[in-house]
Amino acid sequence: MASNRQKARLVILISGRGSNMRSIVEAAQQGELNVEIAAVLSNRPGAPGLDFASQAGIDTEVIDHKSYDSRESFDQAMADSIDGYQPDFVILAGFMRILTEGFVSHYARRLINIHPSLLPKFKGLHTHQRAIDAGEREHGASVHFVTAELDDGPVILQAKVPVFSDDDADTLAARVLEQEHQLYPAAIKRLVSQQTE
């Protein structure tokens, strides 16, 4: 799709402060990414990341999952909104909802997530503590395509950090997050360049 226009269009989904969304927006503003961020959507009305996106001149929208009686109806409302922006890629940046199989298949090979571990290790939650408990020497983050199984899609790009003997979950999380902010824009850059070749 991006080959028909100059820039790939992104819709970014967030649930909170959206620090990874911010890193993508800033990379686009600095000309490091050949993308247009069409919209930032959140399932939480008070998500702090919405203010940043709005101040950056990006359309924002709230689709509150609490207003829907099922995951399917919420996901359908999300898809209806997203499709209105005609994105090339849908970027999950701290979007804290498990998506239905129908939603995932609708955006097959276009739905991207970042996960704080070196997949396939440590799928799910509490990845930093689990890495420490397992005695890992290195940990990191993975950008991957989203599939119906949680944190299981093909990996696009990874970043590694060392695990130090005096680390706790918080210090390790901070080190990984610093890498995430470089990794996500780099992975999107790779996807966009492959798409327009």
| pLDDT higher than threshold 90 for residue 160 | yes
Share of the chain above pLDDT 70, in %: 96
CA distance 153 to 187: 14
Which positions are catalytic? 115
Q: Whole-model pTM?
A: 0.95
Per-residue pLDDT tens digits for 99-136 = 999 999 999 999 999 999 999 999 999 999 999 999 99
CA distance 111 to 99: 11
Q: Which of the four pLDDT bands, split at 50, 70 and 90, describes residue 197?
A: low
The per-residue b/e assignment along 30-61, b for 16 or more CB within 10 angstroms, e otherwise, is eeebebbbbbbbbbbeebebbebbeebebebb
| pLDDT higher than threshold 60 for residue 96 | yes
**CA dihedral of 154, 125, 54, 78, whole degrees rounded to 10:** 70
Please state the rounded mean pLDDT for residues 188-192.
96
CA distance 40 to 133: 36
CA distance 182 to 22: 11
| Fold type of domain 2-115+141-158+184-196 | Rossmann fold (3.40.50)
Per-residue pLDDT tens digits for 27-50 = 999 999 999 999 999 999 999 999
Per-residue pLDDT tens digits for 51-85 = 999 999 999 999 999 999 999 999 999 999 999 99
Domain boundaries, the chain: 2-115+141-158+184-196
Strands 155-162 and 89-92: unpaired
Q: Which amino acid would we find at residue 76?
A: Q
| DSSP type of residue 112 | E
Q: Which residue would you say has higher pLDDT here, 24 or 194? A: 24
